[in-house]
Structure 1
Amino acid sequence: MYDRILVPTDGSAETERVVEHAAELAEAHGAELHAVYVINSATFASLPMETSWEGISDMLQEEGESALEDVRRVAGRYDVDLTTHLVEGPPNKEIVRHAEREGFDLIVMGTHGRGGIDRLLLGSVAERVVRASTVPVLTVRVEKTETTAKAETVEEVKGSS
């Protein structure tokens, strides 16, 4: 049923569950597994002009490579062929464009399951992909792990000092 599966990653710890799910599907179907990380340079458009774009570009590239390395580590536990891709642009548009252009049979991606005002204010890459993609999308609900939540709380406390 599935020959080519795409799993977008944002590099978060919660993505591991999504990659595991995609790798299990790929293994069960004998499918190729592809991971994509989208460098969203638009998030840095509001930085002061004096900021070195070269330094930011390098940092974003490194973040993407690190996220894809995490996918390699998780997918390595399964009997699947993995190919990774690093692209740049708006994440939802690039995920859909990549999946449709490269002929994927399925996109497997995480969703935080936000509702109400959080969803309205924050938006959802997964929701936009589901709405725009002609390729079927399987969403895997991810929640922050206790360790991740504690780490973020520590960072928030540090940031407010």
Structure 2
Amino acid sequence: MYDRILVPTDGSPEVEDALEYAFELAQTHDATLRTLYVVNAAGYSGLPMETALEGITDALHGKGRSAVDRVEELAPDDVAVEREIREGSPSHVIVDEADPDECDLVVMGTHGRGGINRLLLGSVTERVIRRASVPVLTVQVDPEGADDRSGEPRLAAE
């Protein structure tokens, strides 16, 4: 059913909850897992010095390398991992990568914010769900890596 599963990462420990689901699906379907880190340097473009922007971009690319390295490190031996670091708006890049010719499923973590928090903060996951042309599986995560006393992440109903 799935040949290529896209898992965007921001390098946070919370993403590891979503990775567990992606790893299990990849193993079950003998699928390749594609991990993606998006460098979003747009917020720094107004800095007065070009060299400062280059330094920030280099640092963000370094964080991206660390994030995709972590996915490879956590992946079971029988799961093939492809890695990519791209620049741009996270939701736009993820949707571009979620092309049906490139992947069959996107697995993303979500904090499950609602109400005013979602309005104020926005949600990359929500924008991907609305725009992606392939199914998006969301895994609700929190800073502790679990959302209840069992210590197990749960699938979000988005």
Deviates more, 1:16-25 or 1:95-104: 95-104
Which consecutive residues of structure 1, in runs of 5 or more, have no partner in the other structure?
147-161
Q: Is the 8 A contact 1:23 1:78 kept in 2?
A: no
Shift of 1:43: 2.2
Q: Is the 8 A contact 2:6 2:34 kept in 1?
A: yes
2:99 is matched with which residue?
A: 100
1:136 is matched with which residue?
A: 135
CA distance in 2, matches of 1:95, 1:50: 27
Deviates more, 1:24-33 or 1:37-46: 37-46
1:37 is matched with which residue?
A: 37
TM-score w.r.t. structure 1 length?
A: 0.85
The residue correspondences of 1:113-152 to structure 2 (distance < 5 A) are 113-145=112-144
Shift of 1:98: 1.2
Which consecutive residues of structure 2, in runs of 5 or more, have no partner in the other structure?
146-158
1:80 is matched with which residue?
A: 79
Q: Which amino acid aligns with 2:106?
A: I
Q: Percent identity, please.
A: 54
2:108 is matched with which residue?
A: 109
Identify if the C-alpha distance between structure 1 residues 142 and 78 changes in structure 2 by more than 3 Å, giving closer, same or farther. farther
CA distance in 2, matches of 1:78, 1:137: 25
Deviates more, 1:97-106 or 1:120-129: 97-106
Identify if the C-alpha distance between structure 1 residues 78 and 112 changes in structure 2 by more than 3 Å, giving closer, same or farther. farther
CA distance in 1, matches of 2:21, 2:77: 11
SS at match of 1:100: coil
SS at match of 1:69: helix
Identify if the C-alpha distance between structure 1 residues 50 and 97 changes in structure 2 by more than 3 Å, giving closer, same or farther. closer
Identify if the C-alpha distance between structure 1 residues 49 and 34 changes in structure 2 by more than 3 Å, giving closer, same or farther. same
TM-score w.r.t. structure 2 length?
A: 0.86
Q: Which amino acid aligns with 2:79?
A: V
Shift of 1:139: 0.4
Shift of 1:102: 4.7
C-alpha RMSD of matched pairs (Å)? 1.5
